[in-house]
Amino acid sequence: MNTSINSDRLDEYIDQVSYEITHCLNCQPRDSGEWIWVLGIRTYLQDLLNDLDIPEPYHEAVTKGLTCPHCGTNIELESDVGIKTDYESYIDFKWKEWYQKYQDKFEEFFYFIKKYPYLGLQHKLGKQIFEKVPELPKIIIEKETWFRARKVNGSKLLRTEDLYPADPEKVEIGEGRYNHFGQNVFYLAKDDYGAAVELLDESGLVWLQKFNLIKSDKIIDLSHEISEEPNAELDLLSFGLRYSKVLERRVKRSAGWKPEYFIPRFIADCAKLYGYSGVKFNSSRSCSLNLVLFSWESEGIQPIETPYIYKFEKN
């Protein structure tokens, strides 16, 4: 290696340049053999190195340490690369801010609420969340199909009424991410796979019922599609609640102790107190979107046909 090159500085420069690169020529689609540059802002690598003030003697060594983060191709000094848009850089900045400001706070709150499940409001972050709930993104759901699943129990045929939330006076209702033990809420998933994966760890059969959600307003939307570009306009706390995994801590289904539910359930309690009728959220087990309704009108949600058996195959 060139003696004028300091290996620590070299590593820093490689990190700095890598951070900007999103794609290379190889990643771009082709139309009749011609490359069409659509992914990342097309930039000549040497220009990028100069823009980032990487000293010239380091250019070659830095380039040797670069690979495309999307396809793994080695990058060369004379090549073009795709770099982040201003919006992507802004999102990165937002994520950094979120981790700096909230990661430890959420960890602390998790241990606090695990110890004192009913005293979330005594914690500083609990108070902040409580005050934030009325400002969280809200939606109205109209004329959408949602799914609900139940386990297959021997040869018993299920009827539509069996797929509605059970009556806690008659049946034991277990705790869930957005309900306390015994509280009956209406959990739904946006697709058949998503409904089944909430019940089964392995491939198997479930009963499914489709529902037409005719209208449900006052829903807090903490969900996002996997491919969706995050909304940087959201304030930092709402941004993290929606796009980070703080509300998606996975539980072990067979475990008797599920403290991972306590923060989302705290939010559910806050939401109910403010008069919301539900929360739309990302599943912790699949890419599917889930919905929990705390209250619903029977005419607002109608079954579509009758329950059917669905063969769930785990991805």
Binding site for Zn ion (CB under 5 A): 24, 26-27, 68, 70-71, 73
Radius of gyration of the chain from its Cα atoms, rounded to whole angstroms:
25
Q: Please give the distance of CA 5 from its chain centroid, rounded to a whole number.
A: 42
Closest alpha carbon to 236 in 116, 115, 118, 132: 132
Q: Give the span between the Cα atoms of 214 and 304, in whole angstroms.
A: 11
Residue 26 C-beta: closest distance to Zn ion, Å: 4
CB of 18 to Zn ion, least distance (A): 13
Minimum Å gap between C-beta 54 and Zn ion is: 21
Tokens encoding 213: 């959600």
List the structure tokens of 53: 């003030």
The tokens describing 231, both together, are 């909304």
Tell me if 181 sits within 8 A of 175, measured CB to CB: yes
CB of 67 to Zn ion, least distance (A): 8
- Least distance between Zn ion and beta carbon 61 (Å): 21
Task: Please report how close the Cβ of residue 75 comes to Zn ion at its closest, in angstroms.
Answer: 8
Residue closer to Zn ion, measured from CB, 27 or 279: 27
In terms of CB distance, is 18 or 184 closer to Zn ion? Answer: 18
Q: Shortest gap between Cβ of 72 and Zn ion (angstroms)?
A: 7
Indicate the SS3 state at residue 301. strand
| Interacting residues of 217 by C-beta distance below 8 A, sequence separation 6+ | 140, 141, 277
Closest CB to Zn ion among 75 and 158? 75
In angstroms, the CA 208 to CA 218 distance is 26
Residues 32-63 as b/e (b if ≥16 CB within 10 A, e otherwise) read eeeeeeebbbeeebeebbeeeebeeebbebbb
Q: Which is nearer to Zn ion, 16 or 67 (CB)?
A: 67
Q: Which is nearer to Zn ion, 24 or 125 (CB)?
A: 24
Nearer to Zn ion (CB atom), residue 24 or residue 271: 24
Please report where in the chains the tokens 């799914």 appear, as a residue: 147
Among all chains, which residue has been given the structure tokens 């705290």?
A: 266
Residue 68 or 291: the one with the smaller Cβ distance to Zn ion is: 68
Phi, psi of 280 (to 5 degrees): -100, 130
Rounded Cα distance between 110 and 252, Å, is 17
Least distance in Å: CB of 44 to Zn ion?
16
Nearer to Zn ion by C-beta: 71 or 304? 71
